[in-house]
Structure 1
Amino acid sequence: MAEKASGGVQSVERAFELLELITKAGGQVTLSELSSFTTLPLPTIHRLLRTLVSLGYVRQLPNRRYSLGPSLIRLGEVANKQLGTLARPYLKELVDTLGESANMALLDSDMVVYVAQVPSPHSMRMFTEVGRRAHTHDTGVGKAILAQLEPETVRSIVTSAGMPTPTPKSISSLKDLEAELARIRERGYSIDEEEQELGVRCFAMAVPDAPTPMAVSVSGPTTRVDSAFAERAVPLLREAAERISKELNAAA
């Protein structure tokens, strides 16, 4: 507790509090808005923002609003790579056992970004490039993540990103999505039923107690990824998600 009372550590905590508040506000805030979100004195907020701007972690826009800065992108890219490295052994176990491609993705603003993949050994397989961004409403990982969030957060994400329909089976309305998320919460996993690509089915599960919303999945052609496959895959997905969660929290 002595360390927490020191000025340096307290300043770091306060700086990260401001970054988190800007993030929760959608990436842009005014000084007065920040002041209303926190108990920090206005001069302290202004001093911290000035420091964060000088380091590139915050930008001041022409309209005087503050937004997250470009230096955070570099940190995020490195963090994503580390998450991918951590998850890869568990994804490989899924592929070795099930024979289909395995992925991990996390929520990035109003989209999901894939941070790790181990491809299937089959010549006909599902391949997703690491770093690819995708919508939440029509992907297995996206729906698994949305099912863990509050309804107002889901509405905000979908309103911001939109709901394109890449296939005739894609969910196209918030009402249908909310019904689907209720089913996911009840059974504990999500299914992309040819919603991203015709002929491809995906089973996904959220990583519990993760520091940021994330999910793991297995996917492949519907001819191989069927109900019998699901009976084998779902328990293994749950085990992988729990093991990833345990390792993430042990490293925290």
Structure 2
Amino acid sequence: MATATSTAVPTLIGSVRRALRLLEAVGSHQDGATAKQLAREAGLSLPTAYHLLRTLAYEGYLRRERGVFVLSDAVERLACGEALGSRRNGIADSLGHWRDAVGAPVYFAVYHEGEICLVAVADSPAAPAVDDGADFRETAHAHAIGHCLLSQLGPAARRDHLDRHPVRPRTPYSLPDRGALLARLGSLGRMEPVVERQEYALGTVSAAVPVTAGSTAAALAISLPLDQEARLLPAVEWLRREIGTLLTSLAFSISI
């Protein structure tokens, strides 16, 4: 009996954390959002997100209206939730300008309390974000954002992250093991763009650049279909030059 109790506790804590991330994601959409969009923003697989969303709706924390999930009146009264939603909307609006300028989805993420946190994504039907249902936090070893954020951590924090989220190849192009990942991270220059080619999702290339914001690791990234790979480096280099003008808009996110 003691063994069952000890193994159940981490599962319950993990479920609570995932549910809270979903509530925060819902709070950032005044008119509601679909389960697929919320799963992407919370860094969860679609089946996991949908199960939690249904549970939250059953318990009265969310309402489902016309195919989208919205906060219930009880949750909307929480000032912190309203503030977070407002700030994330501001981030998405800012990233939208750069999405239109480079013609690609733009992602902003931070490393917060030991996890990859995808704060905002600006995409469009013409420039859709990568969405394969994977848990974004657990796949930092495969995507450019993860490489960029992990490269900004100290050795101890990096080891801790990889102990909790082991390297598991996702495609035939993924790095095969922890040693290969650490070697790549160690070779990156301080402000050098990080590029991955089909390591996270087949048919997709992506690149990320670090954002200097105090002691917090942050990154901006874009992704493109493989047949548009020639656009990747020029677009991310343009974005890197524009980071200075973005910092004012993005600074709030460092404290989430």
Q: Give the TM bin, normalised by the shorter chain.
A: 0.5 to 0.7
Alignment-derived partner of residue 189 in structure 1 = 193
3-state DSSP of counterpart to 2:227: coil
Deviation, 1:120, is: 4.1
Query: Is 2:238 aligned against 1:235?
Result: yes
Alignment-derived partner of residue 175 in structure 1 = 179
Output the CA distance in 2 between the equivalents of 1:151 and 1:104. 23
Aligned pairs for 1:99-110 within 5 A: 99-110=103-114
Query: Is 2:137 aligned against 1:126?
Result: no
Output the CA distance in 2 between the equivalents of 1:207 and 1:173. 27
RMSD: 3.7
Selected match of 2:220 from 216, 236, 239: 216
Alignment-derived partner of residue 201 in structure 1 = 205
Unaligned 5+ residue runs, structure 1? Answer: 1-62
Deviations 1:98-126 (A, max 9, x none): 11111112225554232211114427x43
Q: 1:128 to 1:238 in 2, by over 3 A?
A: farther
3-state DSSP of counterpart to 2:228: coil
Output the CA distance in 1 between the equivalents of 2:133 and 2:110. 11
Deviations 1:153-190 (A, max 9, x none): 11110111111111011123222112211333256121
Alignment-derived partner of residue 245 in structure 1 = 247
Q: 1:115 to 1:186 in 2, by over 3 A?
A: closer
Q: 1:250 to 1:152 in 2, by over 3 A?
A: closer
Contact 2:223–2:232 (Cα < 8 Å) also in 1:
no
Q: 1:209 to 1:97 in 2, by over 3 A?
A: same
Q: 1:156 to 1:164 in 2, by over 3 A?
A: same
* Paired residues, number: 185
- Which structure has more relative contact order (CA 8 Å, sep 6+)? It is 2
Output the CA distance in 2 between the equivalents of 1:146 and 1:83. 25
Output the CA distance in 2 between the equivalents of 1:190 and 1:231. 13
Selected match of 1:164 from 149, 168, 177: 168
Segment drifting more, 205-214 vs 215-224: 205-214
Contact 1:155–1:174 (Cα < 8 Å) also in 2:
no
Alignment-derived partner of residue 152 in structure 2 = 148
Alignment-derived partner of residue 84 in structure 1 = 88
Deviation, 1:201, is: 0.4
Aligned pairs for 1:38-77 within 5 A: 74=20, 77=24
Output the CA distance in 1 between the equivalents of 2:167 and 2:252. 36
Q: 1:161 to 1:211 in 2, by over 3 A?
A: same
Deviation, 1:83, is: 5.1
3-state DSSP of counterpart to 1:208: strand
3-state DSSP of counterpart to 2:213: coil
Unaligned 5+ residue runs, structure 2? Answer: 1-8, 25-80
Amino acid at match of 1:202: S
